[in-house]
Structure 1
Amino acid sequence: MSSQPVIPPVVVVGAGPVGTTAALLLARRGLPVLLLDRQPRPYGLPRAVHLDDEALRVLADAGVVEAFLEVSRPMAGLRLLDARHRTLAEFRRAGDAGRHGWPQASMFHQPDLERLLRAAVRDTPGVELRGGEEVVGLAEADRSVTVTVLERATGRRRDVVASAVLGCDGANSTVRGLVGARMRDLGRPDRWLVVDLRARVPLPVWPGVHQVCDPDRAATFMPVSGDRYRFEARLRPGETAADLTGAALPALLAPFGAQDAEVVRAAEYVYRAQVADRWRRGRVLLAGDAAHLTPPFVGQGLGLGLRDVHQLSWKVAAVVTGAAGEELLDTHRAEREPHARALVRLAAVVGRLMTGGGAGAVPVRRAVLAAVAGVPALAAYATDSRTPALRAGPLVERRGPAGRRLAGTLVPRARVRAGGRECRLDDVLGAGTAVVALAAPGRVAVTAAGRRAELDDVDGALTAWLRAGRARFAVVRPDRVVRAAG
């Protein structure tokens, strides 16, 4: 009786939120994972502060969304202010659940997210996390990669044979350099001061994001979670972070009532709009900030990385286990790069519209924002968390009226009822490809893993979604992206 061949681990490089999420997604598909990080312990200061409900779909598949909801809070919306902090426009978000069952936008403290992700990694069989270990070499073979690892504390080196390597090691990615990829600019870099704050009592401030649309001193202020807040201000040419973090800082914080708040961290950040010119070499693939960097204006930095690994993990699992050919990995860049590029460009454009131009742009901005805020459809679009559909390709069949409307988008995580038990659609879709179709009035049929079940469409969301897309059925991929509809 022959034994099953042992699959070498997938090596995930970088144990930030994207890398740890990738490790969890791969392990939940039965793959062994070795998670490496050059730092011996997690970075203790915040960076990302926002995720939308599409990105929470990824955390749900990683098994940590309920824990995330306990350490985050819904974002109330966006308020645009002029130089004197008068409201130009306000775009509110409802605090109740959106089309995926969670708030459309959530604010959080990144170290909280990293703690719960690492706790999940510790509790997940098949994942080994090793800190203080740096990848210094990659040698590719036919169906494996030999990873040379440096133990930074001892200087010792060792080789690890991997079935695949995911470079989730951030903006200064080592893996990106080892595969010969380079970042390409989509816009000019932008220097900002970022200040993280804590307040002993809640600040008397509107609970959404405040964007100061002042070309002379663009700024952002936002409550994060708990007693934490963030303030950001664009640095002028020749200005340094030190110029604003002394006596000048209380005056900048005063309009938000934060002049007496504790400064946890104040640092200069250079926001870049960049996308890598290569995302894959053999079985080595890039994801997250290693593949793209975005300005912060639409809050998609971390969300883009989570989408990368959600759409990549099932493909890697299929290739590594022999269920699919190597060509499946070609779809990683083909799908993710145009999507990332579109959101990076959108962030750059939104940043210019909100904060760019000289004095002459101020009255134009005021008039345009007043017009947008006065049209409900446009105002709703400004707070919609949906991101662009994936482009047509081997795994996205955008043919026919239904395909053009639905393929490449996410199926709603709607409420359904099966056998008297109410749950969410993802709970019955399973880990593979599934088909969702109209059935009797008020009911939908789901075919997954070879089984067909009719379910009550509890609030009619799935029926309405299919009919709006002129579809009777939709084929849903493992990452909940619609492959085809008709």
Structure 2
Amino acid sequence: MGLEAGPDGSLGYRTTQVRGLQEGSGVRALRRAVKNKDRFLQAGGLTVQNDNAKPGHYSVLIVGFGPSGAVAAGLLGKKGHRTLVIDRLTDIYDKPRAIAVDHEILRHLDNMGIAGEVLRYTAPFTASEHFGAQGQLIRRIDMVPEPYPLGYTPSMVFTQPPVEAVMREHAASFDCVEISLGTELIGLSQTDAIVSADIREADGTVRKVTADYVIGCDGASSTVRQTAGIRLEDLIFDEPWLVIDVQANESGLAKLPKASAQFCSPSRPASYIIGPKNHRRWEIMLLPGENPHDMEKPENVWKLLSRWITPEDGSLWRAAAYRFHALVADRWRERRILIAGDAAHQQPPFIGQGMCQGLRDVTNLVWKLDRVLKKQSPDSLLNTYGVERKRHVRELTGKIKAIGEVICIRDPEAAAARDEQLLAEGNGVPRTITRQEIVPPLQEGLLTAGASDARGTLFPQPAILKDGGSVLLDHLTGAGWRLVIDGRSSVKASSFADTAKEIGLSVAAIVPAGEAETGTDMLVEEDSVMSGWFDRYGAAAALVRPDHYVFGAARDASELATQLGELKSCLG
């Protein structure tokens, strides 16, 4: 099916408050978000009134307005929760940092109504070819083929500054979301009932606010994490690398590889990534004795790039030295304080999952927080957030770390043995693995006790035939709790309608094209993605969470009734 833009990305702007802004790309995006007839500008900065707000107290305080914080704010805004977002910076960082996004995240952005805008700044992620010590191809990492299981190209590259602006603009469109930039968290305390925060605004004013919950999305050196006394566990990976972004011109593009690559040379390992349009990225290992600051200087950067291009072939966009770490928080919640994104974990970038991990955090957390704030579920539901995300992050980071360790071998004999082993795994032919098989399912948390292999996996999103065309499943069922039934099975939706309504589930039965009976209200899928999923797992029905993970998959009506009972109990 290829790319599906979903909704057109148009935003319904409402009143909000935006403080402490200075002109720049991110500010211009927020100005667009509040440019309407009932807005007004006050001297000394942009302040848009929200007459419905009660000053001083919020349902949620979000510290950090990067991608994770912006998406969390947008999700909470859509649910109607009064939210304050603060960030010590006054604008979006204008250089690229994250570069990869996957179909799970695009599905969430579609649910938010911004996928159409985001897709303007994306391109499919080319296969990554791994070359050994002698320059020979030893492995490929690609993406799963069509028909794409979640409705989007499974692996994509993107340009962060404009994508981040779209996320911020969406958050700013809700009247219940207040944004305060140039604002720093300077104190945080909590009781069993409330969190109090001291914040210093752009003009130096210090004010105290309170919130029911705080989400720390404030990066690797997170003040929220440190204040809450949460430690980072070291998963033992620490390598110095230089990340280089270039905007290549025509001569440069003609010289460069046409696929992304990992150059696993023991003399100096390096990665090459094809970004959108003319954006090209290199990640190059720094060697012992090389000063990271010195290696960032343009003359040294171009020396490192000389095997590929020269200064005449493009312009240097960014060069930044990093230490690639593998870290995960020992816990993700301290009573009413929660952490997400880089505040909770850091991993090497070898399959481009850094930002995806942070957005998985907030899409896992916010629907649970929504239920707790609305008193639909007990506060203990939030405990499943850390349980689920910590294990998932540890497992995925372990796999990324293993890939990194293979790439980073410096000993020539060990590198030769690695090359021989990888080729042997494909019987002498370079083997292809997919990025999607590297990302694990959920293993524990808010899941059925049943033993189905589908439990904890991402639920597919087929294209559904409608009005002479097709539409993605979530556009018809919504993205809340769902009961999805294999229309070919003996399980009948009508038998579970009352229970589904009581729990708050939407219900849909799906059949492949050509198998729908006339007069039924079953949904008909275009490419047998859904029927193939049911066949693979031997399931007749699935209970799907708002973050698209499978709570449970049932083989028959009896098993489904048991799982519905479990779900009702879990949600409280």
Length-normalised TM-score, structure 2: 0.78
SS of 1:216's partner is coil
Q: Contact 1:96–1:102 at 8 Å: present in 2 too?
A: no
Within the candidate set 53, 68, 79, 2:118 is matched to 68
Would you say 1:158 and 2:207 are equivalent positions?
yes
User: Structure 1 residues 56, 444: CA separation in 2 closer, same or farther (over 3 Å shift)?
Assistant: farther
User: Structure 1 residues 24, 223: CA separation in 2 closer, same or farther (over 3 Å shift)?
Assistant: same
> Where in structure 1 are there 5+ consecutive unaligned residues?
none
Within the candidate set 247, 256, 279, 1:198 is matched to 247
Would you say 1:283 and 2:336 are equivalent positions?
yes
CA deviation map 1:285-339 (0-9, x unaligned): 0001000000111211111111000010000111111111110011111110000
Amino acid at match of 1:467: D
Q: Displacement of 1:208 after TM fit?
A: 3.0
Q: Contact 1:443–1:455 at 8 Å: present in 2 too?
A: no
Within the candidate set 88, 101, 106, 1:38 is matched to 88
Q: Kindly, what percent of the aligned residue pairs are identical?
A: 33
The whole-number CA distance in structure 2 between the counterparts of 1:218 and 1:280 is 37
- What's the counterpart of residue 313 of structure 1? 366
- What's the counterpart of residue 309 of structure 2? 257
Would you say 1:167 and 2:216 are equivalent positions?
yes
- What's the counterpart of residue 462 of structure 1? 530
SS of 1:255's partner is coil
Q: Contact 1:91–1:373 at 8 Å: present in 2 too?
A: no
Q: Displacement of 1:388 after TM fit?
A: 0.9
Within the candidate set 217, 233, 248, 1:184 is matched to 233
Amino acid at match of 1:360: E
The whole-number CA distance in structure 2 between the counterparts of 1:353 and 1:312 is 34
Would you say 1:432 and 2:480 are equivalent positions?
yes
CA deviation map 1:336-389 (0-9, x unaligned): 00000111111111101122241112222222332345699x945344356211
SS of 2:236's partner is coil
Would you say 1:126 and 2:176 are equivalent positions?
yes
- What's the counterpart of residue 461 of structure 2? 413
User: Structure 1 residues 5, 131: CA separation in 2 closer, same or farther (over 3 Å shift)?
Assistant: closer
SS of 2:276's partner is coil
Q: Displacement of 1:450 after TM fit?
A: 5.6
Point out the more displaced range, 410-419 or 102-111.
410-419
- What's the counterpart of residue 286 of structure 2? 235
CA deviation map 1:143-185 (0-9, x unaligned): 332221111x333211112121111111010100111111111
Point out the more displaced range, 333-342 or 77-86.
77-86
Point out the more displaced range, 80-89 or 155-164.
80-89
Q: Contact 1:271–1:294 at 8 Å: present in 2 too?
A: yes
Q: Contact 2:480–2:506 at 8 Å: present in 1 too?
A: no
Q: Displacement of 1:8 after TM fit?
A: 3.0
Instruction: Report 1:7-406 matches (<5 A).
Output: 8-83=58-133, 85-93=135-143, 98-151=148-201, 153-201=202-250, 203-204=253-254, 205-241=256-292, 242-243=294-295, 245-257=297-309, 259-260=311-312, 261-373=314-426, 379-384=431-436, 387-393=439-445, 395-400=446-451, 403=452, 405-406=453-454
The whole-number CA distance in structure 1 between the counterparts of 2:212 and 2:379 is 12
The whole-number CA distance in structure 1 between the counterparts of 2:87 and 2:431 is 42
The whole-number CA distance in structure 1 between the counterparts of 2:392 and 2:198 is 32
Q: Contact 1:77–1:383 at 8 Å: present in 2 too?
A: no
Point out the more displaced range, 437-446 or 116-125.
437-446
Amino acid at match of 2:536: A
The whole-number CA distance in structure 2 between the counterparts of 1:442 and 1:157 is 63
User: Structure 1 residues 248, 130: CA separation in 2 closer, same or farther (over 3 Å shift)?
Assistant: closer
User: Structure 1 residues 386, 58: CA separation in 2 closer, same or farther (over 3 Å shift)?
Assistant: farther
The whole-number CA distance in structure 1 between the counterparts of 2:224 and 2:316 is 34
The whole-number CA distance in structure 2 between the counterparts of 1:288 and 1:103 is 23
Amino acid at match of 1:414: P
> Where in structure 2 are there 5+ consecutive unaligned residues?
1-51, 509-521, 555-572
Within the candidate set 546, 549, 566, 1:478 is matched to 546
Count of residue pairs brought into register by the alignment: 477
SS of 2:68's partner is helix
Amino acid at match of 1:459: D
Amino acid at match of 2:441: A
CA deviation map 1:4-49 (0-9, x unaligned): 9988331111000111011111112221221110111111221110
CA deviation map 1:371-422 (0-9, x unaligned): 345699x9453443562111233x112523xx2x111111001112367663
Amino acid at match of 2:408: T
Amino acid at match of 1:196: D
SS of 1:432's partner is coil
SS of 1:274's partner is strand
User: Structure 1 residues 142, 94: CA separation in 2 closer, same or farther (over 3 Å shift)?
Assistant: closer
RMSD of aligned residue pairs (Cα, Å): 2.7
Length-normalised TM-score, structure 1: 0.91
Q: Contact 2:194–2:213 at 8 Å: present in 1 too?
A: yes
Q: Displacement of 1:186 after TM fit?
A: 0.3
The whole-number CA distance in structure 2 between the counterparts of 1:123 and 1:102 is 25
SS of 1:390's partner is coil
The whole-number CA distance in structure 1 between the counterparts of 2:285 and 2:275 is 19
User: Structure 1 residues 195, 324: CA separation in 2 closer, same or farther (over 3 Å shift)?
Assistant: same
SS of 1:256's partner is coil
User: Structure 1 residues 415, 143: CA separation in 2 closer, same or farther (over 3 Å shift)?
Assistant: farther
The whole-number CA distance in structure 2 between the counterparts of 1:277 and 1:450 is 34
User: Structure 1 residues 25, 176: CA separation in 2 closer, same or farther (over 3 Å shift)?
Assistant: same
Amino acid at match of 2:549: V
Q: Displacement of 1:190 after TM fit?
A: 1.0
SS of 2:164's partner is helix
Q: Displacement of 1:58 after TM fit?
A: 2.4
Point out the more displaced range, 290-299 or 421-430.
421-430
Point out the more displaced range, 263-272 or 362-371.
362-371
Q: Contact 1:164–1:320 at 8 Å: present in 2 too?
A: no
Q: Contact 1:198–1:227 at 8 Å: present in 2 too?
A: yes
Amino acid at match of 2:159: H
SS of 1:272's partner is strand
SS of 1:125's partner is coil
SS of 1:411's partner is coil
